[in-house]
Amino acid sequence: MSISVLGSGAFGTALAMAFARDGTEVILLSRDEEDADKMQSARRSGQRLPGFDLPQSLTITSDSTAFETDVCLLAVPMQKLEAVLKEHPQLEGKSLVTCCKGIDLNTGLGPAETTTNQFPSANVAVLTGPSFAVDIARGLPTALVLAAHEESLAKDLQSILTRPALRLYRTTDVPGAELGGALKNVVALAAGIAIGAELGDSARASVIARGFAEMSRLALAKGARLETLQGLSGLGDLVLTCTSEKSRNFATGVGLGRGETIDPTTTVEGIATAQAVAATTDMELPILRAVAAVTLGALDIATAIETLLARPVGKE
């Protein structure tokens, strides 16, 4: 079965490389014609993920005929997903695998529902879990979660996309997989702030633990299963993202904790997710709400920390 990847950013490029490494014909679609031509002719990865030779069976193009494949992975940022889908009506009826993590700031929807709303006849699945693009590109062992509402679809896509170093574990808990991947980015921002403000590793551990509790409460209220949150797409992704500056969300949090401003050119999905959550639920989520307030400029770092530390203690 033929495979294409829409989006030549770091993660999309890494996935395309992983799928093509065994000789499978894979098409990587870039919206940047110049970058696509350069990658195709030089057989080297582009500016978003520099330094890698590309498998010979990987074709890079800016031509939308790439969508003639049976399976298309959507590796575009969450906040741009809806607009990209509207540009490509030819995706209707295909097997579409969303690879972004987050909640749409305008609609409050996750990637699967956003895609299904646009293409009701498509077979939609979600790929998520603890991973860095550079590790996948290097061929290092990575385990991800493939979520689809239908078990048969999850099995089929698992068979098509699993590789020796890219192991996909399936689930039918789409809300759990999506919310684990989305909400952990908010907690990573908070963990980064704790490190950047020099509160120490003990404070970071507290943020991770209490943040995971908030993630679980919110996800369970939205129909997720606890075992999903405790697996790769929840706890696994949370640990990775909160402990490495290869994570854009954690690194951005560190910068905020040091008093730096946010780089507007960098995709930091946790910011929009925090703001979307704060605007659409009245649940008690102090860490997530504090991150939303900080990123909106409604609360400074010192006051946010003081407010969280002033909360009454209770049962674990």
Q: For residue 144, report the phi and psi dihedrals to the nearest 5 degrees.
A: -125, 170
Look up the pTM and report it. 0.95
| Residue that the structure tokens 């908010």 belong to | 186
Nearest to 108, CA basis, from 286, 280, 307: 280
Q: Is 175-309 the same fold as 3-172?
A: no
Tokens found for residue 192: 């980064």
Q: What are the structural domain ranges in the chain?
A: 3-172, 175-309
Which pLDDT score, from 0 to 100, does residue 53 have? 97
Which pLDDT score, from 0 to 100, does residue 264 have? 83
- CATH of span 175-309: 1.10.1040.10
The amino acid present at 186, given as its one-letter code, is: V
Report how far residue 118's alpha carbon sits from residue 228's, in angstroms, rounded to the nearest whole number: 26
Q: What is the CA radius of gyration of the chain?
A: 19
Which pLDDT score, from 0 to 100, does residue 297 have? 93
Give the residue numbers marked as catalytic: 184
- pLDDT per residue as tens digits for the range 159-168: 999 999 999 9
Q: Does domain 3-172 have CATH number 3.40.50.1820?
A: no
Task: Please count the residues of the chain.
Answer: 316
Which pLDDT score, from 0 to 100, does residue 307 have? 87
Which pLDDT score, from 0 to 100, does residue 259 have? 94
Report how far residue 269's alpha carbon sits from residue 81's, in angstroms, rounded to the nearest whole number: 12
Q: What is the DSSP string of 112-150?
A: HHHHHHH-TTSEEEEEESS--HHHHHTT--EEEEEE-SS
CA 54-60-65 angle, 5° bins:
150
Question: Contact 268/262 with Cβ under 8 angstroms?
Answer: yes
**Which H or E element spans position 34?**
helix 33-42
The phi-psi region of residue 26 (left if phi > 0; otherwise alpha if psi is between -120 and 50; otherwise beta) is: beta
Which pLDDT score, from 0 to 100, does residue 66 have? 65
- pLDDT per residue as tens digits for the range 114-139: 999 999 999 999 999 999 999 999 99
Report how far residue 276's alpha carbon sits from residue 253's, in angstroms, rounded to the nearest whole number: 18
Q: pLDDT tens digits for the chain (316 residues)?
A: 789 999 999 999 999 999 999 999 999 999 889 999 999 999 999 889 999 999 999 999 998 776 788 899 999 999 999 999 999 999 999 999 999 999 999 999 999 999 999 999 999 999 999 999 999 999 999 999 999 999 999 999 999 999 999 999 999 999 999 999 999 999 999 999 999 999 999 999 999 999 999 999 999 999 999 999 999 999 999 999 999 999 999 999 999 999 999 888 888 999 999 999 999 999 999 999 999 999 999 999 999 988 888 888 887 7
